[in-house]
């Protein structure tokens, strides 16, 4: 039997640093979490339903769903993430995961038509080769029951440019060449040794994400902006902590979440689709 595929070594090394577990609590990332939860909740079937969280990390969304009564199986290629998820699950009195296992999105150890929902909130980031993305989306389709839902996240082609504009990254001479390559090809290659510049990844154009999902034989419900332009909100932490400005921000982001001319201004995109 051939060995299961694995992400590139630099990707595994990046996540082995352990920074992913608490990422959504920092900087503007609480907006990513809140908007992702909104979009999931809007389309998910009611619990109990079987959710396969592919590339689920340490369980950022898996535990949120398990607490709501879903049967959640987490799969991730990073040993540290699986260990963290398993330990967190074991320590809980409720909202435990059904399983947490090592695995790769391109070769899921899962029976055909066995999941009501497949989350892919990360795998497409780290599959630069189109054939690998096709394999991952094909595996998601295979694992889904007819009528089941796929939620596939992507990083926007313009994400590194947006990061540079809202922070000090353009003050570092190693960063602009990375942005230039991202914009030209979508291939994000960090050969600087600086983890703050992320790791090997593919950044999707919004139209590209929708096309790849449709070509996998799935019925696309839509491509949604996750953070939209809200990731560039001035004084984000203060505004997010205040319920009134926070809800105003979310209300307007919902209003433009499918506006084609603004999709690329969102650091993350979410394709929502169903298996026919």
Q: 122: closest CA among 69, 62, 180, 67?
A: 62
Q: What is the pLDDT of residues 18-61, one digit of tens each?
A: 999 999 999 999 999 999 999 999 999 999 999 999 999 999 99
Region 232-237: mean pLDDT is 92
Task: Give 107's contacts (C-beta < 8 A, 6+ positions apart).
Answer: 4, 5, 135, 139
User: Which domains, ranges and CATH numbers included, belong to the chain?
Assistant: 9-274 (3.40.50.150)
Cis ω before 48 (30° cut-off from 0): yes
Quote the pLDDT of residue 4.
74
Answer yes or no: is pLDDT of 195 > 70: yes
> Do 54 and 100 touch, CB atoms closer than 8 A?
no
pLDDT at residue 167, as a whole number: 85
Is 125 within 8 Å of 155 (Cβ atoms)? Answer: yes
67 three-class SS: coil
The one-character DSSP state at 106 is: T
Q: Among residues 89, 59, 55, 90, which one has the least CA distance to residue 75?
A: 55
Given a contact cutoff of 8 angstroms between Cβ atoms, the answer to whether 166 and 231 are in contact is yes
Dihedral of the alpha carbons of 249, 254, 58, 275, in degrees to the nearest 10: 180
What's the CA gap between 150 and 100, in Å, rounded?
Answer: 19
109-143: per-residue pLDDT in tens? 999 999 999 999 999 999 999 999 999 999 999 99
Q: Please report which confidence band the pLDDT of residue 200 belongs to, taking 50, 70 and 90 as the band edges.
A: very high
């Amino acid at each position: 039997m051939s060995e299961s595929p694995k992400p590139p070594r630099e990707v595994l090394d990046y996540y082995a640093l352990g920074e992913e577990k608490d990422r959504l609590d920092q900087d503007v990332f609480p907006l990513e979490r809140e908007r992702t939860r909104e979009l999931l909740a809007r389309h998910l079937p009611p619990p109990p339903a079987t959710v396969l969280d592919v590339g689920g990390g340490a369980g950022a969304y898996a535990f949120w769903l398990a607490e709501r009564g879903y049967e959640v199986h987490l799969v991730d290629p990073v040993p540290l993430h699986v260990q963290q998820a398993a330990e967190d699950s074991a320590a809980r009195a409720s909202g435990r995961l059904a399983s947490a296992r090592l695995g790769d999105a391109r070769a899921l150890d899962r029976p055909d038509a066995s999941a009501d929902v497949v989350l892919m909130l990360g795998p497409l980031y780290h599959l630069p080769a189109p054939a690998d993305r096709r394999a991952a989306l094909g595996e998601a389709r295979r694992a889904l029951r007819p009528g089941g839902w796929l939620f596939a996240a992507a990083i926007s082609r313009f994400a590194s440019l947006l990061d540079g504009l809202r922070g000090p990254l353009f003050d570092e001479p190693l960063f602009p060449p990375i942005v230039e390559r991202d914009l030209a090809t979508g291939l994000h290659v960090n050969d600087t040794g600086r983890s703050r510049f992320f790791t090997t990844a593919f950044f999707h154009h919004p139209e590209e994400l929708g096309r790849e999902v449709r070509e996998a034989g799935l019925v696309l419900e839509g491509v949604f902006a996750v953070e939209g332009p809200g990731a560039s909100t001035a004084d984000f932490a203060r505004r997010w902590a205040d319920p009134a400005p926070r809800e105003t921000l979310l209300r307007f982001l919902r209003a433009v979440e499918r506006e084609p001319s603004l999709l690329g201004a969102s650091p993350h995109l979410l394709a929502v689709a169903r298996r026919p």
